[in-house]
Amino acid sequence: MKKNYQNTLLITILSILLILYLLNPTLIIKSILDYTDLFIKKLFPVSFIFYIISSLLIDYGLVEFLTNTLNLNGATSYVTIMSLISGFPSGAKYTKDLLDKDLLNEKEANYLIRYTHFPNPMFILGSVSTIFISKKIPIIILISLVLSNFIIALFYKEKTSKVKIPQKKEVKDFSTSLTKAITSSIKILIVVYGISIFFFLISVVINNYIKLSPLNFILINGIFDLTKGVFSTPLIQNDIIKANLIISFISIGSLSIHMQVKSIINDSNIKYKNFLISRLEQMILANIIFIILNCLL
């Protein structure tokens, strides 16, 4: 019965959206083109090459090298470093990739999904920095987001015995590995693009048909599409409030980010609940750290 109510509600919402789209097709087409331009110029080039290289590194034994030669936990080290420099939802993708290749067990994968939700550093220090006059605020925002994730990692860390991973003995054909890496990367990016534009259009329709106060406008945008929420914050004059809103949007992620993560881990035993709970924890921790650092620096 509950499932029927949910389906009815979803059908109703989607039908309303379809009608609103048909009433103003020019707005929808323009919004799609604008977002596509942003995606192609900003997100696709960086993410595409990162995903290809990361897939090749896994295929050619980097995880085994980190584990057996450098005496590290190769899988967790790899996912942590790659997600830290490439931004979300790469943490979920790298975790799922290593789980599929049996380089991670389910327990480790469910641990990694909690804290590998890092923003791309260039997004914070480049794009977000243009929102603030003070150049220290974006740096403090980035530090707060990274530290909060590492605190979550320490809190949930359990003692485990390090297991040697057998070195890869077979020689992989580079053209085959490259083709698979490209195919996998494009597939993920198409899903990310489709989900992002779906929720972006919902926020566009709401903003076009409902008159909202500046704060509600920012919150609605942030809930559906993280990027639009972040770049709506200049409607507020106070830099501290702007920073807290940006930290909250990035920590929690938008509905778009959550759907992207769910789509990536959908056919695995990685628990979405772990990701969701830790995003709420990160939001609280990151905002507290920001307030402390902003007072001290």
Measured in residues, the chain has a length of 297
Higher pLDDT, 9 or 166: 9
Highest mean pLDDT among 57-66, 108-117, 194-203: 108-117
* Per-residue DSSP letter, 172: P
Q: How many CB atoms lie within 10 A of CB 138?
A: 22
Evaluate if residue 255 carries a pLDDT over 70.
yes
Up-side HSE of residue 276: CA atoms within 13 Å toward CB? 9
Each residue's pLDDT tens digit, 84-143: 888 888 889 889 988 888 888 899 999 999 999 998 888 888 888 888 888 899 999 999
% of the chain beyond a pLDDT of 90: 26
Integer-rounded Cα Rg, in Å, for the chain is 20
Smallest CA-to-CA distance from 224 within 244, 209, 243, 204 is with 204
- Residue 226 has a pLDDT of 85
Q: What is the mean pLDDT of the chain?
A: 84
Q: Is the pLDDT of residue 280 over 90?
A: yes
Cis peptide bond upstream of 234, omega within 30: no
- In the chain, the amino acid numbered 295 is C
pLDDT digits (tens, 9 = 90+) for 13-34: 778 777 878 888 888 888 888 8
- Give the alpha-carbon dihedral of 57, 59, 61, 67, to 10 degrees: 80
Residue 72 confidence (pLDDT): 62
